[in-house]
Amino acid sequence: MSGRDKIKRIRFWHQAPWSWLFSLKTGLVLLAFMVIVSGVTTFRFSGNVPQELGYADSAEAAVAEVFGTWWFVTLLAFLALNLTLSTIRMVYERILHRPLPELHSNVSFYEGRQPTANVACERDVSDVAARFEQAGYTVRCEGAAGVVWKGRAGLWGAVISHLGLVMVILGGMLAAVVMEAGYLTLFEGDTVDSIKKQDSEEEIPLGFDVKCEDFFMDYYPGTGSVSLYRTELYLPGLELSERLQAVEVNKPLTVNGWTMYQSSYQALPGFRRFVVEGLDREFEIAPGQRRHFIDDDKLTTVTLGNRFPYGWWIERDGTETESGMLFDPQKTWRIRVDQYEPDLYLNEAGQVASRSREPNNPGAVVTFLEGMQPVERRILYMDHEMAFKMNQVQMNRPESLPLMASLLDVKNGNELVLEVYKMEDPPDNPDDAKIVMAAGQTEVVGVASDEDIPDGAIRFKDFGVFHVTHLRVARNPVLPAIYLGCALMMLGLLWSFAVPRVTIWFWRDEKNGRLRVAARYRYARETFDRRTRKTIESLTDASNNATAEESE
């Protein structure tokens, strides 16, 4: 009776009902079931189905309907339990109490294996065993037969990788319970101290304030493809040097255990935001907003008033040092040609586009600006007059200033001849109201005052778009454990696959003086490995034997 049989008789895990719980066969059945369920789920919740069921995407639907349900989680827990128990059994039976390899002293065993050798050998079995021992093998030798082996430690690799997988599964399940996650929706200038859970109104307090100082985005030149977007945050609760931090895609920010990830953003073109120069930098600021900068360990705050002409003031370490106006209230009126299309139409997305390069329906998209502040955007068609009554749009001035604008002609393919004048003051000579412009150009069209923008520490440069940024915020204390599980899995796999495992049997047939050798490798082989081959050769070659003995 072999040692393994003895274990089977005395251990409870070989008897029902425990045997299936301790068996990796159960794990394999579970894996097969999960493969089918997972595959079917991806097809079931694809296309429009998630939206029809009220989910944002297929992943959310799959989690809500399958992967996050009690029965799937139970299956996962059962898989983890099965892996743990079968690994314990493996450690007990195959590592700690593994019976020694059996000896074989019959011809049929050696002839039925591959690789195998049958060589003339005058040495006795103990000499053969000594040669293998020198080669690093563990030896068992009785009578005319012997067995040597190495690489059993490789089994620990399987143990470690299985336990790593258990850690990952349990870590994932635990994370679903203990992880706190939600979203921050921050307008530029907003400050919050809590996050909203996804799909719920419930708020989770962060324990510190987060202010969106700025949202910055950049495009690949000449395209509409975003190359970068970044949320700049001001965290007043932190040390001065750590208060200004940024979050980008792939560059999350961790504060007090909470990690913030850049998720998405929106542009809000209806809101005003200014690009200004000053304090040795260029930055954006919205009406009524405060921007913070830290220079030489000193806090500098810029505040902008919330009504035209937007007063500003600068505080350094809490003391106001400078102030001024961003705009001259009597600034000029301007027109800017944003876009010219020779054969204008509105495409499926409602955007202005051109059907061809032929001037079948010339049109231009123009923006009227008060000072440098855009107040109205319209499309001008050839020979169609368009009146702008400025008091009908959002204005910060009481009086009305109606303008008349029309596109008269297009020269040289892209030079637009516009006519723009104040309705209350039409020009005597129509040519005085004509302007020739190309797309991208801005021209003064009505003059209230031509004074320059007053000098000061803060100067207006351009208009920016107001943004709202969406950050995912999460606190997952289990994450290190999951990563440790992953690392263990990899370590176990590498250990398991890298450690060579081999068992070699030999038997000296006293009747004919021949040595029979057979081997079993981890990877099936048709021939012996080089070292074993040399060892066998050294046993059969008299000169080599002598050399070997001398060296000993």
114 lines the binding site for another protein (CB under 8 A) = yes
CA-wise closest residue to 278 among 310, 244, 301: 301
| Backbone torsions φ then ψ of 32, nearest 5 degrees | -60, -40
- Candidates 292-300, 389-397, 407-415, 454-462: pick the segment binding another protein (CB under 8 A): 407-415
C-alpha 101/C-alpha 231 separation (Å) is 65
Amino acid identity, residue 219? Y
259 lines the binding site for another protein (CB under 8 A) = yes
533 lines the binding site for another protein (CB under 8 A) = no
Q: In this chain, which of 434, 459, 520, 525 binds another protein, going by CB under 8 A?
A: 525
C-alpha 474/C-alpha 178 separation (Å) is 11
The residue (of 73 and 448) whose beta carbon lies closer to another protein is 73
Q: In this chain, which of 2, 28, 53, 477 binds another protein, going by CB under 8 A?
A: 28
| Backbone torsions φ then ψ of 533, nearest 5 degrees | -60, -45
Locate 385 and state its tokens.
Answer: 């007059």
34 lines the binding site for another protein (CB under 8 A) = yes
413 lines the binding site for another protein (CB under 8 A) = yes
Q: In this chain, which of 246, 486, 499, 548 binds another protein, going by CB under 8 A?
A: 486
C-alpha 156/C-alpha 152 separation (Å) is 8
474 lines the binding site for another protein (CB under 8 A) = yes
C-alpha 18/C-alpha 29 separation (Å) is 16
Task: Count the site residues for another protein by CB under 8 A.
Answer: 69
Task: Find the shortest distance in angstroms from Cβ 62 to another protein.
Answer: 5
C-alpha 459/C-alpha 53 separation (Å) is 52
CA-wise closest residue to 441 among 478, 414, 422, 471: 414
252 lines the binding site for another protein (CB under 8 A) = yes
482 lines the binding site for another protein (CB under 8 A) = yes
Task: Find the shortest distance in angstroms from Cβ 493 to another protein.
Answer: 4
Scan for tokens 């750590």, then name that residue.
242
Amino acid identity, residue 100? L
Task: Find the shortest distance in angstroms from Cβ 249 to another protein.
Answer: 4
Locate 365 and state its tokens.
Answer: 């998209």
Q: Which residues of 436-451 are buried (b: 16+ CB within 10 A; e: fewer)?
A: ebebeeeeebbebeee
DSSP state of 5: H
116 lines the binding site for another protein (CB under 8 A) = no
Task: Find the shortest distance in angstroms from Cβ 389 to another protein.
Answer: 30
Q: In this chain, which of 415, 432, 450, 462 binds another protein, going by CB under 8 A?
A: 415
Residue 527 CB coordination number (10 Å):
11
- Candidates 200-208, 277-285, 354-362, 528-536: pick the segment binding another protein (CB under 8 A): 354-362
> By CB under 8 A, what part of segment 281-320 binds another protein?
none
360 lines the binding site for another protein (CB under 8 A) = no
24 lines the binding site for another protein (CB under 8 A) = yes
Task: Find the shortest distance in angstroms from Cβ 238 to another protein.
Answer: 21
> By CB under 8 A, what part of segment 35-64 binds another protein?
35, 38-39, 41-43, 46-47, 57-59, 62-63
Task: Find the shortest distance in angstroms from Cβ 250 to another protein.
Answer: 4
Contacts of 280 (CB under 8 A, 6+ apart): none
H/E stretch holding 363: strand 363-370
Q: Are 285 and 274 in contact (CB under 8 A)?
A: yes
Which residue blocks in 46-116 are alpha helix, DSSP H? 49-52, 58-62, 70-90, 107-111
- Candidates 102-110, 204-212, 306-314, 472-480: pick the segment binding another protein (CB under 8 A): 472-480
The residue (of 59 and 546) whose beta carbon lies closer to another protein is 59
Residue 217 burial (10 A CB sphere; 0-12, 13-18, 19+): middle
The residue (of 289 and 503) whose beta carbon lies closer to another protein is 503
Kindly list the residues in this chain that would bind another protein in the complex (CB under 8 A): 24-25, 27-28, 31-32, 34-35, 38-39, 41-43, 46-47, 57-59, 62-63, 67, 114, 158, 172, 181, 219-223, 225-229, 248-252, 259, 261, 263, 355-357, 412-415, 438-439, 441, 472-474, 479, 482-483, 486, 489-490, 493-494, 497, 523-526
